[in-house]
Structure 1
């Protein structure tokens, strides 16, 4: 079967790989139908690394997966033909982090398309049923959004947003927009900020207010959620968060890119929390996708075939769209 194999920096090929065997007990086999291109796929393609995760051998890309169950192992009660979203991280289940329910911090998690673990831009994959979520009422393309939306849900949970609170989201890319949907679902009054006018236009089309970066205004926001990874943006976000407010860091910039004013954090009792992926979010993500199907075409409208992926990454044409889905 075909797969998108990254052999080295800027060396991506569509190659033939062996098809998976029948699924083991507790596992399912899924025909992959749609995989979103994520910023991490681009990082590995362009740089071969994200922090300590370094590409040292060929790896299949892709971790935002929607598909259809084609076979099930013993003990699995999910019907063949079910549209599903795949949670891409498989934790050990035994470490202190896993036992506390924070399995996203498991040191031995096996996460799609994170070296040396293969991703899912291929025709079929076997996956644990426990991390395979029925997405009835959604298309596989829509189901693939459960993964990036989960990042937003995790961020909003860390922000502890309540009805009527004001949330400023820095960065109006795919994760920023999906985070805005999650914050809106909690009843927050959401504003998005970006330096790219076209992104703010999309945010406005989704019904959100927008703000030009570095605007001069008094501190006002209950929570600032950074989805940009920009040190400049976070520093500005600290200036506009209210006393006692929260700063949530989602975007992953270069090491040392974000610098906060520690004295100000103390004097105004501003709390800071980091977000790494997510845990226990997929059911909520799928439900929110069902409720907001009206806006999902913004994220699912641009689609390419697997064979087009190398050229898409080489030219950067995906940057002209809110989201690009690879269709298998």
Structure 2
């Protein structure tokens, strides 16, 4: 048995949309074969966490049906190691990759483990999440972060989302790129597009303050405030004007909102790429004929695969300097309910809310 210093509390929701803190595990844990125990020291709240708590599901299959622990953007310190594990030791600082695939199915064997039908992705029902004090996790999905802060370690997860978007959309040196949505994923995607050499980069949002924040992180970025009274094709004209009269080759759509997707499509050049990162309604209308006559590729992203080592190198190498500034609020684990309320309330001006627990 591994003695732990404090109660292993976690943050739960349920089918009635309650949010509460309760014991997640017994006060002593045992690492199984191939596992380590991690004291989770920092966890970022993702939009999907809010969605599961407020709406009880994402799409038709990811449904909260019981008491359920949230959270999947986490980093911490190893406090116990099973004797079978040789890659980690007690005291190692790690970021936890939340998806544990089977590595036996066709998509896994082809390297696309994000599509594994049997993946155990922490925080996606019914798999309990990482937003708890202590968690057992397979050692192979714990990535060493050395002296990186726990908060930066927690930001590796959204960074992986953005990196997958840059890689799979084909952003390359000199590409004009528009990022739709200046939330955490949108801003991190813009940072990654800059690191990839995109120019110019335009970012859109309905919130002026978020656009101004993006400008502080990336002074060269060009901003377009979305007016709710304008049509998608009108906003697309604003994007083209902001780009100096040229159409973007790649649009990174980070909102999942139908009108924003249409805006992205209308803004692109012939044979451009509209790459959807954001999560939206299960069914949406799209400007089909505009896509067709302009040979625009419409592509989608589901989580990520094979990004974590790269994300760590990029973070350590300073290619996304300033990423930690997206953290707008911090709360101790015991105040997680307040942290979720802050994230869900647009009036707080929150961007990325981080829940921390002392090492």
Tell me which interval the TM-score lies in, with the shorter structure as reference length: over 0.9
2-structure distance, mates of 1:132, 1:47 = 30
Residue in structure 2 matched with residue 200 of structure 1 by the alignment: 211
Match for residue 67 of structure 1 among 60, 76, 82: 76
Structure 2 counterpart SS, 1:324 = strand
1:76 Cα deviation (Å)? 2.3
The structure 2 residue matched to 1:243, chosen from 258, 264, 270, is 270
Pairing of 1:97-176 with structure 2 (within 5 A): 97-176=107-186
Q: Structure 2 residue aligned with 1:263, among 276, 289, 300?
A: 289
Equivalent residues in 2 for 1:1-328 (5 A)?
Answer: 1-17=8-24, 18-19=26-27, 21-51=29-59, 52-73=61-82, 74-189=84-199, 190-207=201-218, 208-213=221-226, 214=235, 216=237, 217=240, 220-257=247-284, 259-290=285-316, 291-292=318-319, 294-314=321-341, 316-317=344-345, 320-328=349-357
Decide whether aligned partners of structure 1 residues 78 and 210 sit closer, same or farther in structure 2, where only a CA change above 3 A counts.
Answer: same
Alpha-carbon distance between aligned partners in 1 of 2:323 and 2:291, rounded to the nearest angstrom: 37
| CA-to-aligned-CA distance 1:154-173 (integer Å, 9 cap, x gap) | 11111111111111010010
Higher mean displacement: 208-217 or 33-42: 208-217
How far did 1:183 drift?
Answer: 1.4
CA contact (8 A) 2:339 2:355 kept: no
Q: Flag structure 1 segments of 5+ consecutive residues without an equivalent.
A: none
Work out whether residues 20 and 124 of structure 1, in 8 Å CA contact, stay in contact via their aligned partners in 2. no
CA distance in 2, matches of 1:50, 1:271: 25
The normalised TM-score by structure 2 is 0.87
Note if contact 1:298-1:322 (Cα within 8 Å) is conserved in structure 2.
no
Separation in structure 2 between the aligned mates of residue 307 and residue 75 of structure 1, nearest angstrom: 31
Structure 1 Cα separation of the partners of residues 10 and 251 of structure 2: 39
Computed over aligned residues only, the root mean square deviation of the Cα atoms, in angstroms, reads 1.7
8 Å CA contact retained: 2:192, 2:320? no
Compute the displacement of 1:91 (Å).
Answer: 0.6
Where does residue 229 of structure 2 map in the other structure?
none
> In the aligned structure 1, how far is the partner of 2:324 from the partner of 2:338?
24
Give the Cα–Cα distance (whole angstroms) in 2 for the partners of residues 209 and 80 of structure 1.
46
Give the whole-Å Cα distance in 1 for the aligned partners of 2:28 and 2:246.
55
Deviation (angstroms), 1:292 = 4.6
**Contact 1:229 1:250 (C-alpha < 8 Å) held by counterparts:** yes
2:269 counterpart SS class: strand
Question: Any idea what SS the aligned residue of 2:29 has?
Answer: coil
Distance 2:322 2:353 in 1: 15
Tell me how far 1:300 sits from its aligned partner: 3.2
Superposed displacement of residue 143, structure 1: 0.3
Deviates more, 1:6-15 or 1:56-65: 6-15
In structure 2, stretches of 5+ residues that fail to align are 1-7, 227-234
| Counterpart secondary structure, 2:11 | strand
